[in-house]
Amino acid sequence: MTNIVGRVREAFRGDHRVDPDELIARLEGVQRFLRAVDGQVPDARLVAAHTVVERAGTRLALSGDHTVVALAGATGSGKSSLFNALARLELSPVGVRRPTTGVAHACVWGPLGGASRLLDWLGVLPRHRFVRESALDGDDESALHGLVLLDLPDFDSVQRTHRLEVDRLLGLVDLVVWVVDPQKYADRVIHTSYLREFHRHKDVTVVVLNQADRLPPAELPRVLDDLRRLLDADGLGGVPLLPTVAVDPAGMVGLRGALERTVAERQAALRRLAGDVDSVVAELEPLVGVEPPRTGPEDGSARELTRALAGAAGVPAVAEAVEGAYRHRAGGTTGWPLVRGWRRLRPDPLRRLHLPGGDADAPAESLVAATSVPDPTAAQRSALNLAIRAVADRSGADLPAPWPTAVTAAARSRLGDLPDALDRAVAGTDLGMGRRPAWWRVVGGLQWLVTVAALAGLGWLALGYALRALGLPSLEYPRVGEAPLPTVLLLGGLLAGLLVAALTRPVVRWAARRARQRAEQRLTSSVATVGEEYVLVPVRSVLTRYAQAREALRDAAGR
């Protein structure tokens, strides 16, 4: 579209009721709309918009010096006679058989060279093109210089190809002159299938009652009034309605004057395209509604999605494993050294799940290829599907069709990738289990200290027993009060170890719960990121495109 801006401005300069710059801005609005809805709206609903954009670009780029006017009518209405009378030549065949005009004929006032590309685009064959060269000689035809007049096939032809050709050309010409006759001016086909469809192109529509000489002078005003009533019912109130008589030059004055004014204004092409844009905008408006769009999913539905993702990712199981691993490792460090070996025979809960932190000696940031977190249950998968549907339903609740369907499709577009993404998110989350707390070392050192004391007391007592058994002089034990020191060391060490373990156990349980909560928060944050990327971002993308489409269509409407 941008490559024709210069040509349009050059071709349509001056003070016009239809501003070419405004028209181009509206067409660009339609283009932006089409880009925004691409892939979101069925192509069948966008055919007319694509056609108008392409047709407008081509028409404005071809010629701004020519005005294409088509004579359209039913068999026997006399449009070919009007065509010949306007050209003042016998160019189009006239007759009463059906069909009379099988192909479009064209007459160009002025040199044919400037209109050749335009006629090629219209599809008028070279052998059906005629030129009024005398328009350049200063005679009375000069007022029509730049007119390209088409005589179309009969729209009620028994030949389907003729009707298709009429429909094609009616979508391309700048102005349409509908030719009716006194006998068939009220025919339902022309009103329901054609005139009524042109209600948005009133500025480029003219209706002529041809063969007006067949009516008695007193009947002509009554017929014109009745025809005007029908046109008003078709939405064409205010369009020019002219009586014509092809065989009498005086009966052509009104129509020739209307064509001369149209050619002089050089506005017909712009008016026609503006009407086309109006029609397209009216057709597209139901796609964007009247209410401002949402900016994204509601917080409540996003939280529900995160909870469902956490369940599907096995966050509760992993958090429970973190708590168990904390207690297992704390017991292995702070427990009585003489029974720590028994703990090592029990597997570490995190190591069983192949999660980071499963190996206490491995760095916390080390990643694993895949975890052994249990697969989600049927209930968890169902909850996830319901949460995704809730996000889509609430995000697209106020949008017109087919946007809710597009939002739902976007929300589910990466559903197949979610299991692997959740597993990677869990595997990549630092669970806070890579380091041993300092107080573990303090308690562990204390346990070793009392254990060494107990072992020293035991060894001391064993040495004294051995000396007595061998008949050697017995050892004299230092005493603490009445109790020998070795006995105090042995019993005191055992009791102190049990006491430290008893006092440490509730602290370990409390710290394990804290570790579980911390891991659960980190895991929930990780799966929320997955939900953002795989569900919420696609949904927001559709909502953004809806907002862009709504704004673009507002610009296309010229508001």
343 confidence band (pLDDT: 50, 70, 90): low
Pair 464, 474: CB distance under 8 Å: yes
Give whichever of 131-145, 202-216, 466-480 has the largest mean pLDDT: 202-216
H/E segment holding residue 551: helix 537-556
What CATH topology corresponds to 65-265?
Rossmann fold (3.40.50)
Token readout for 283 is 């057709």
Q: Which range among 222-231, 281-290, 547-556 shows the weakest confidence by mean pLDDT? A: 281-290
Nearest to 104 by CA among 146, 71, 62: 71
C-alpha distances out from residue 233 to 222, 226, 526, Å = 17, 11, 64
Quick one: which of 177, 171, 153 has its CA closest to 163?
Answer: 153
Answer yes or no: is pLDDT of 6 > 70: no
Length of the chain: 559
Q: What phi and psi values does residue 371 have, to the nearest 5 degrees?
A: -95, 170
Are 79 and 210 spatial neighbours (Cβ–Cβ below 8 Å)? yes
- Structure tokens belonging to residue 403: 């946007």
Nearest CA to 169 among 70, 66, 74, 87? 70
User: According to the model, what pLDDT value does residue 195 have?
Assistant: 92
pLDDT at residue 173 is higher than 60: yes
Distance of alpha carbon 440 from its chain centroid, rounded? 56
Write the DSSP symbol of residue 45.
G
Closest CA to 48 of 270, 285, 206, 233: 285
With H, G, I as helix, E, B as strand and everything else as coil, classify residue 83: helix
Residue ranges of the domains in the chain? Answer: 1-64+267-287, 65-265, 299-437+503-556
| pTM (predicted TM-score) | 0.78
Listed residue (258, 261, 273, 229) closest to 71, CA to CA: 258
The SS3 call for residue 18 is coil
Q: Does residue 432 surpass a pLDDT of 70?
A: yes
CA nearest to 519, candidates 319, 364, 317:
319
**Which one of 12-26, 388-402, 427-441 scores highest in mean pLDDT?**
388-402
Residues 6+ apart with CB under 8 A from 88: 132, 141
Eight-state DSSP code of residue 69: E
In this structure, the number of other CB atoms found within 10 A of the CB of residue 208 comes to 27
pLDDT tops 70 at residue 475? yes
Distance, CA of 218 to chain centre: 62
- Residue 100 has a pLDDT of 53
Q: Is 43 exposed, middle or buried (0-12, 13-18, 19+ CB in 10 A)?
A: exposed
Fill in the DSSP letter of residue 100: S
List the strands of the sheet with 175-180, edge to edge: 129-132, 105-109, 147-151, 67-73, 175-180, 205-209, 241-243
